[in-house]
Structure 1
Amino acid sequence: MKARTLIASAAALAIAPALAVVTAPAAQAAPAACTASEADVFAAPGSVSGGPGELLACRNVTLTQVPGNIPMRAVQVRYVSTDLNGKKVPVTGTVAVPTARWTGQGSRPTVAFNPGTLGIGRQCAFSKQLAGAYQDEYEGEQVAAFLKAGFAVAATDGMGYIEGLTHPYMIGANAGHSLLDIARASRQVPGGTLTADGKIAISGYSEGGAASLWASQLAASYAPELKVVGAAAGGVPGDLKLTAKQLNGGAFAGFLADAVVGLHEAYPTLPFDELVNDNGRSAVADTKKYCLYGTLARFLGARVESFTTKGYSLDQLYALKDANGLSWGDAVEQQKLGVNIGRPGSGAKYQIGFPTYQYRGYFEEIIPHETEEETRRLYCKAGITTQFNNSYPGEHLLTDSIAINDVTSWIGDRFAGKFTFGNCPLF
């Protein structure tokens, strides 16, 4: 779907179904069978026990939005992860495993997958959409490609799609932890066939691309037992300040609205309620109701200045601090990719011992080219083997589809143990 089609569809669609309130579950042991209800999977947090990646609940589902009638077993899962402050939180997602026998090397490998932006309304959860509660999901073909290649897929919804919470959109540590932990949880599905020695690849586009690289940066310290062999990341908003500047007042300002609400969710001490006017309060409520098209329609051409009491610009908002001296600008900078990264043994905070595949469309119109190129440059400078492709003949959304075969092939090569030099500049 091309950008102009996306905008036209956004202007016509604003879907916001109500969600029933469910009682928070008590802390529980790992399930012996996938007999949970949908309400159990998406229930309020309650008391969360268990370590990161521990499976809390699961239910068997049919993935109606994955094309190709691929024989598989699919389960909706609820599992333990940790947020950027180290707090245990339940996260939801989908684990799908082809029923055809794996014929590659070793045990069947798994792709830990994060979808692109779907909106932060709770009904927008990727696992709900894949299973037929369709809003405007567009990643079913990528999931299908992985499954057809014989790979298992562990697709996270990301944090906050459960009762009483809000998705912390574009928060790096939260996204990275959620991806790594669903890879862990995928091995615990009752009656499942995935084993601890199976290789893991990480993949995602747009919001999912940022999540993929954050999972890459966190893997060695957060989930060292996982055998991660590569990460594919497309359309990556590596620098949120550059991205916000381009989004503000434009056709895709809805992404900025989601990001502001996501930052508020993750950093609740930052000044917020006292900054927003009536228009801003309405906007916050609307971001929590809509999926992708509805959000883009609601905020078409919107500027952040119109939602604040004093008409604050982005730069003015970045300067505002909480009682401990943390500013909005600090919080945004903490999400920047490629900072303090290095190879194993480098002493860097984030050590990456596997290659990455980074890509964008030639006609990219949502994410600034500068930040996508800069993320690649930072990875190359740090000595991370990186393959970069900026020549796909599409804009933002279409490129996600155009690149499916290349992404699947590149990941297949990593699972097969093939070596890659990448294409980092030699100077």
Structure 2
Amino acid sequence: MTGDAEDFFANTSVTSGRAPGVILRSRDVTVTHPAGVGAARQIVYTTTAGSGFPVAASGIVLEPGVNSANGSSQRRVVIFCPTFHGLGGACAPSQLVVEGTEPDAPSMAAALAMGWTVAIPDGIGLGLTGAGPHHFLAAASGAHAVLDLARAICAPTRAGELPKPVAVWGYGDGGRVAAAAAEQHPGYAPELDLRAVAAGAVITDPGALIPSIDGGPFAGMAFAAMIGLGRAYAHLPIDHILSDDGVRAVTTASTLDAGTLLAEYGYPLGRWCERPDPWRDPIWRHVLASEVLPQKTPIVPVHLYQGLLDALVPVASTRALFADYSARQVEVTWSQFDATHLGAADLGTADVFAVLREGFTRPPHSGTLPAT
């Protein structure tokens, strides 16, 4: 990064009592990819880690160009939750978008073409220097980063002005974050005019996912999950399971992007731990049990989707979330495709946009809880 970028992305301490969703600093940037960006700005804002501590987080806001579908002054906002990018280093979406190397750029471009403002959170622990590692798979941390980004850019700027309507969309780890944002919204940010949420290939139970990928081609993600959740639950004594090699590996891996993690840490977790099945440790059982979705009940429409040939996220887990939401009387819809994990991400876009468009036609959300 240049000197100016280093200053902008320097970690910022947030004092206790500081309201979440407040922009600490902002700067205009030039973005040429994805296509359709009219203006862009990177922001650093206040949020709250899942453990309750106030922290700073970064993100980027993309405004659609003049040729977009919607020229309304009451701009509709989509918070796009990116797929897993890594635990640290130069892989934050807010920086990759500016560099023109963001892997989720096609999804962002499609939303911009609809005339929607697209805002992308980096997530807690990613983007700001020294704040990591990223709280990978920590549902509350991810949800708060999403909802507080929406607060930061959707709040009224003048007396009598309504908050901007907002929707949330994500896939894979981003789908988990999107679903968690829907669940956290009523209690954490009820003033937001949240209209709809779309979540694909939702990781509902990290405790089931981690052992299923441990030792396989996605083993690096299992190790990343241990590191990310370890950071989110740092107030607990969770590093006792690590061997000396594991302690050193965590330090190095905490600065790496997703591709490098998969390439260099494709070993069973027992390689880094004092026991071959660290997820069975009592403290880790508590952590993983605390991360099972659903945790709370959404009060806005939720669309879930996935590929039947998904080899990474079990389709049964997202189906179970659909059934659970249905039992809770959530307005939830489901789409499935004869496709792989990546294939369904593309095939599901048309249904996602139909749900978000319909959500944006609804009356402003009141922020009230459903009857019990």
Pairwise same-fold verdict (TM > 0.5):
yes
Q: Partner letter of residue 277 of structure 2? A: S
In structure 2, how many angstroms separate the alpha carbons of the residues matched to 1:242 and 1:54? 36
Q: Partner letter of residue 334 of structure 1? A: S
Structure 2: which 5+ runs fail to align?
364-372
Q: Which residue of 2 aligns with 1:10?
A: none
| Counterpart contact for 2:307–2:336, Cα < 8 Å | yes
In structure 1, how many angstroms separate the alpha carbons of the residues matched to 2:163 and 2:271? 53
Residue 413 (str. 1) matches residue 358 (str. 2): yes
| Counterpart contact for 2:14–2:46, Cα < 8 Å | no
**Any idea what SS the aligned residue of 2:47 has?**
strand
Taking the TM superposition and a 5 Å limit, the aligned residue runs for 1:62-73 are 62-66=30-34, 68=35, 70-73=36-39
Q: Which residue of 2 aligns with 1:312?
A: 276
**Aligned-pair distance for 1:375?**
1.2
**Aligned-pair distance for 1:133?**
6.7
Q: Which residue of 2 aligns with 1:276?
A: 242
Structure 2 residue aligned with 1:329, among 272, 278, 285?
A: 285
**Aligned-pair distance for 1:247?**
1.0
| Counterpart contact for 2:179–2:199, Cα < 8 Å | yes
Residue 87 (str. 1) matches residue 53 (str. 2): yes
Structure 1: which 5+ runs fail to align?
1-18, 23-36, 320-326, 340-349, 419-427
Taking the TM superposition and a 5 Å limit, the aligned residue runs for 1:371-386 are 371-386=317-332
In structure 1, how many angstroms separate the alpha carbons of the residues matched to 2:307 and 2:250? 31
**CA distances 1:351-400 after superposition (whole Å, capped 9, x unpaired):** 42211110111210001222122111111111111111122x32112322
In structure 2, how many angstroms separate the alpha carbons of the residues matched to 1:261 and 1:383? 35
Q: Partner letter of residue 355 of structure 1? A: P
| Counterpart contact for 1:107–1:197, Cα < 8 Å | no
**Any idea what SS the aligned residue of 1:154 has?**
strand
Residue 119 (str. 1) matches residue 65 (str. 2): no
Displacement over 6 Å in runs of 4+: none
TM-score of the two chains, using structure 2 as the length reference: 0.89
Q: Partner letter of residue 380 of structure 1? A: S
In structure 1, how many angstroms separate the alpha carbons of the residues matched to 2:290 and 2:63? 35
**Aligned-pair distance for 1:205?**
0.7
**Percent of pairs identical after alignment?**
27
Q: Partner letter of residue 87 of structure 2? A: I
**Aligned-pair distance for 1:47?**
4.2
| Counterpart contact for 1:116–1:206, Cα < 8 Å | yes
60 and 377 in structure 1: CA distance in 2 versus 1, 3 angstrom threshold:
same
Q: Which residue of 2 aligns with 1:39?
A: 6
In structure 1, how many angstroms separate the alpha carbons of the residues matched to 2:298 and 2:240? 41
| Counterpart contact for 2:297–2:330, Cα < 8 Å | no
Structure 1 residue aligned with 2:349, among 404, 407, 419?
A: 404
Taking the TM superposition and a 5 Å limit, the aligned residue runs for 1:8-407 are 37-48=4-15, 50-66=18-34, 68=35, 70-100=36-66, 103=70, 107-132=74-99, 134=101, 137-161=102-126, 162-166=128-132, 167-187=134-154, 196-300=162-266, 302-309=267-274, 311-317=275-281, 319=282, 327-339=283-295, 350-391=296-337, 393-407=338-352
**Aligned-pair distance for 1:405?**
2.8
In structure 2, how many angstroms separate the alpha carbons of the residues matched to 1:186 and 1:263? 28
**CA distances 1:166-216 after superposition (whole Å, capped 9, x unpaired):** 1111111111110011111124799x9xx6432111111111101101110
Root-mean-square deviation (CA, aligned residues, Å) is 2.4
308 and 412 in structure 1: CA distance in 2 versus 1, 3 angstrom threshold:
same
Count of residues in correspondence between the two structures: 357
**Any idea what SS the aligned residue of 1:160 has?**
coil
**CA distances 1:142-181 after superposition (whole Å, capped 9, x unpaired):** 1111110001112100011212221111111111110011
Q: Partner letter of residue 353 of structure 1? A: I
180 and 103 in structure 1: CA distance in 2 versus 1, 3 angstrom threshold:
same
| Counterpart contact for 2:214–2:222, Cα < 8 Å | yes
**Aligned-pair distance for 1:333?**
1.4
415 and 188 in structure 1: CA distance in 2 versus 1, 3 angstrom threshold:
closer
In structure 2, how many angstroms separate the alpha carbons of the residues matched to 1:269 and 1:86? 11
**Aligned-pair distance for 1:252?**
0.6
In structure 2, how many angstroms separate the alpha carbons of the residues matched to 1:133 and 1:96? 13
